[in-house]
Structure 1
């Protein structure tokens, strides 16, 4: 993608070079017009000078008419009559007998071939201009001014080269100066762009400074207002999510207690009655045994559901034993997979709400590793320090196309982590996947 500043400098430079080209063409045209004026003026001046001061000899060899020899014409200083770069031929129209050229200092630089060709295409050298010489004794004499092509083209090249040299330098200097000025003028834009990038990263606390340019200052103010609005919305969302999880866990705890106190006791009583019937030795003993078996299955299922609703070890023993029981349950269900748990730091100092969130995150990370891969080893590491880091890794092959923000499990993790002001990332590794959650204390 093209950057603004280089494009602007190049376009200013291009505009300057186009201006230089137009100015050079104007110089060439002006030189051609000046050559035409010089030729016309020179022819007229020479004709008038000869007509005003002719010199004659008497009758020659029995002639009947005087013969003009134009002695004064040859003696007139050329610079007073003939313009530089112009030659004058004097005599009959078809057979001129006299030729004089104006003074001209030759240029040290020869015009290049392409310029000579361009001069021919543009008609730089004017056509000869003739003026009749009017006297009583002369009827067929003209003064013809002819522009010297070499002189005219050299003059045009000298003017054009000087102009182009200065103008190109000015165009380059102007482009560079424009780039510097625009770069300084756009400096606030980079500050605003960094502010937008911070907003994209979710950093709503940063604020942009006031700008000296009115338009940039209005944009900076609008971004600050947007950041403040987003920060309020994020804070409100975080608080609502925290309240939602608090209410959810409270409902789970109440439901678990209700199921344990009511449904669990009923099942226990039913199982006891079934055992009594089975031991009575009567014909219903077999039915009683079957009732006891079904009741046992129902109680096992109830305990599993209660553990999902509210981990009993977390309330009774603490976070570390609850995590150990969680990993032990996975080992018993999947003995072919090696599960490891490493807990470092002062885990007992973690608050109950944060401990519950850590347990839920670990529970979902282990479930996600088993469900979406075929690992041979799963490692769960929890480090408690100034912040808490939970890291779950597996060797179930890297899944580069795995959705990192889809599914209820991962969505729940992200909501919990966001509500606690932390970060979560699920990334592929060389051998599998790694889930990392970082939470503040």
Structure 2
């Protein structure tokens, strides 16, 4: 696909060359028409001059009548009778006895292709025969013949000069148009860069005012669109933050209710089952079974409570909570080696941001185990001017679907966007890498 400027320059050049061809055609037509007029005018002038000045012989030699032989017609001034490039023959139409040609200026010999083209176009006119009107003779004609060499040379001289000048003007005009259009189309680059920034999600940048009215309207439209998108992005981020705040509040309340109500009931049921098992009655075996099932239910309850609201995060802080999470993964999936690296003041991260960071790390590890078959998963969190979270696994790159599909990754992106950060999931050598950056 060619750019706008090259296409514009080429079209201007083609238009100029077409103009040159049309002008050259007109020059050829005018040259042929002028040669035709010269032949007709020359034939008429010479015929009249010959008819007005006959020479008589015959009576002096015993003849019975005067015989005009026109001996002196070639003494007529050629410049006043015969046009340049025209030859005149005098005598019967089929057997002329005298010939005289007009003057012409020497010029450069035209190339063979131009001679061939002149013949095909019929550039040289047909001879023009005019009878000599006198009472002494009959069947005497003045025939004006255009000299092909002179006519073609004249046409080449006129056309060549025109083509050299016109082609030069066409090329110069195209180049000048290109230079002018470079300056005129410069705002296109500014508009394009602004639209590309919108595509990348940069809604804060604004385009400058432009001198050309149409471009300025486009710039204003792009700025208005960017402002609208920026406002919508801010509203979406605020709504997402509120959603996650409400979600975490609901999780905290649900965890508290489960712990206070369901947990106490399970504890009482387990105690009663233990008492029945120690009573020695026939129902002791059933009590032991009830106690076993109740223990399993309490373990499941603790796991769900940890998912709803990590207790270590509230009681101990972010660093111990992350270490506990990785330790749980090591216990659950012993075939995979889990690595954790924490850099910077991790425990100084604010509570709301710490919870989001914990959830993002949790989902990254879950995604690595669920969608790949890694033998090593490395989680690194660095706290500096911004928070950087990187989760890398060697579970082979996943190219079977669009990267970013799935509710887990969608939740990560929504959390990161709500916090004003960025997230990317990309294939790396031998696996995948999830990278999140969050502002402090």
TM range (shorter): over 0.9
Please give the secondary structure, in 2, of the residue aligned with 1:32. Answer: helix
What is the correspondence of 1:30-429 to structure 2 with a 5 Å cutoff?
Answer: 30-57=30-57, 59-107=59-107, 109-429=108-428
Q: Distance in 1 between matches of 2:234 and 2:208?
A: 23
Contact map agreement 1:16 1:171 (CA 8 A) in 2: yes
CA positional deviation for 1:95: 1.7
Deviations 1:290-323 (A, max 9, x none): 1111111110000000001000000001111101
Deviations 1:57-94 (A, max 9, x none): 46142111222232431212211111010000011222
Q: Distance in 2 between matches of 1:370 and 1:215?
A: 55
Deviations 1:331-378 (A, max 9, x none): 011111110000000111100011101110110110110011111100
Contact map agreement 1:424 1:438 (CA 8 A) in 2: yes
Structure 1 residue 8 corresponds to structure 2 residue 1: no
Superposed CA RMSD in Å reads 1.2
Q: TM-score, normalised by structure 2?
A: 0.98
- Could you list the runs of 5+ residues in structure 1 that have no partner in the other structure? none
Q: Distance in 2 between matches of 1:403 and 1:293?
A: 45
CA positional deviation for 1:268: 1.1
Contact map agreement 2:58 2:64 (CA 8 A) in 1: no
CA positional deviation for 1:231: 0.7
Please give the secondary structure, in 1, of the residue aligned with 2:61. Answer: coil
- More displaced stretch, 181-190 vs 305-314: 181-190
Q: Distance in 2 between matches of 1:263 and 1:207?
A: 56
Please give the secondary structure, in 2, of the residue aligned with 1:389. Answer: strand
Q: Distance in 2 between matches of 1:60 and 1:435?
A: 128
Q: Distance in 1 between matches of 2:344 and 2:137?
A: 126
Contact map agreement 2:374 2:393 (CA 8 A) in 1: yes
CA positional deviation for 1:132: 1.1
CA positional deviation for 1:427: 0.6
Q: TM-score, normalised by structure 1?
A: 0.98
Q: Distance in 2 between matches of 1:389 and 1:60?
A: 131
Please give the secondary structure, in 2, of the residue aligned with 1:99. Answer: strand
Deviations 1:42-62 (A, max 9, x none): 011111112223333461421
Q: Distance in 1 between matches of 2:286 and 2:71?
A: 158
- More displaced stretch, 371-380 vs 50-59: 50-59
Deviations 1:160-179 (A, max 9, x none): 11111111111111111111
CA positional deviation for 1:121: 1.2
Contact map agreement 1:404 1:410 (CA 8 A) in 2: no
Deviations 1:226-261 (A, max 9, x none): 111111111000000000000000110011111111
Q: Distance in 2 between matches of 1:286 and 1:141?
A: 152
Q: Distance in 2 between matches of 1:101 and 1:402?
A: 90
CA positional deviation for 1:436: 0.4
Structure 1 runs of 4+ aligned residues shifted over 3 Å read: none
Deviations 1:382-424 (A, max 9, x none): 0110011100001111123343221110010000000000111
- More displaced stretch, 374-383 vs 285-294: 285-294
- More displaced stretch, 292-301 vs 66-75: 66-75
